[in-house]
Amino acid sequence: MNLIGIDIGGTKILIILTDETGKIKNRVELPTPKGSPALVLDKIVQQLKLCEKFKSIGVGIAGDIDSKNGIVRHSPNLHKWTNVHLKKYFEVRTNVRTVVDNDANCAAVGSYILDGKKKYKNFITITLGTGIGGGFITNGELYRGSTGSAGEAGHITINQNGPRCSCGNYGCLESYIGTKGIIRIAIKQGLKNKNLTPAVIAELARNGNKKAVLVYQKTAEYLAVGTGNLINIFNPDMITFSGGVSANWDLIKKPFFTELKKRVFTASLKHVKIIKSKHAKNLGAIGAALLSKKSD
């Protein structure tokens, strides 16, 4: 039977129809409508009506999610999304069982199955984008923590005196290498392009701009500090990166591993396999679909 996976982001919504193994059968991308949650959800339901038959729906969304009850407690990148009963909404409209989880948790489940083939039981996915997220699989199960808020890899302090983060803390990993953080590094390095984005900086770097290369070197070093913390704590089998900025893994990889070696216990580092997910672009949606199947 088919599954639906939906990744609701601040700028776009990805809807994927997969088979039970996570293989993509259909894929639609929509711009996220500006407006109330109801407006956004109506748009999605319209799309679902055009789909083949499906057995369950999985929804991944950034923010603080009550996955048990399928409620978005708060989503920072979406306007006025507070206490949105997402599960209920979809189930009433579609009559299909729906599960809702944090987007990074969905990505971790997707990557655990597709990249890791379920062989790597202690597994971490770090999502690199506007924000930095984390999903943790321990002993083959998604670890959600006590109130569903575990995995905030973006909000580990890597420098207690670092820049203010959107979460209120100082020196979080996200404050350094979330989209805004990367642009801040670029400005510091003297890059003057008006429309600086991580993608623009990456293009400059690939074309030989030394300042842009240095931006990704710094980004890689910060990422290594945060990743190193997770390795020393979790001693995982595998770590994968996904999210928009992971598209620049070619620029990140070398300085990342150089820095990581300085920071991590040798035995743990030797053991862990670290890659960019082969499914990075669709991982949130595919993982949501697979998660909806899993909770049968």
Residues within the interface to a second copy (CB under 8 A): 64, 73, 121-122, 134, 136, 138-139, 141, 143-153, 155-161, 167-171, 221-222, 225, 228-230, 232-237, 262-265, 267-268, 271-272
Output the 3-class SS for 7-28: EECCCEEEEEEECCCCCEEEEE
Of 14 and 156, which has the nearer Cβ to a second copy? 156
Instruction: Please report, for residues 9, 10, 227, the alpha-carbon distance to residue 79 in angstroms, rounded to integers and kept in the order given.
Output: 11, 8, 30
Decide: 7 and 296 in contact? Cβ < 8 Å: no
Structure tokens at 178: 């979330």
User: Least Å distance between CB 224 and a second copy?
Assistant: 9
Shortest CB 194 distance to a second copy, Å: 31
Any idea which residue has 């100082």 for tokens? 170
CB of 142 to a second copy, least distance (A): 11
Q: Which is nearer to a second copy, 94 or 175 (CB)?
A: 175
By C-beta, is 27 or 73 nearer to a second copy? 73
Which residue, 93 or 273, has its beta carbon nearer to a second copy? Answer: 273
Listed residue (59, 148, 74, 61) closest to 104, CA to CA: 61
**Cα 51 to chain centroid, rounded:** 25
Instruction: Of 71, 123, 126, give the one whose Cα is nearest residue 99.
Output: 71
Contact 59, 288 (CB under 8 A): yes
Q: How far is the CB of 168 from a second copy (least distance, A)?
A: 7
Smallest distance, a second copy to C-beta of residue 150, A: 4
**22/148 with CB nearer a second copy:** 148
Kindly state the tokens that stand for 284. 């949130």
Q: Give the distance, in angstroms, between the CA of residue 7 and the centroid of all CA atoms in the same chain.
A: 10
Task: Quote the least distance from Cβ 152 to a second copy, whole Å.
Answer: 4
Let me know the angle formed at the C-alpha of 257 by 251 and 259, rounded to the nearest 5 degrees: 105
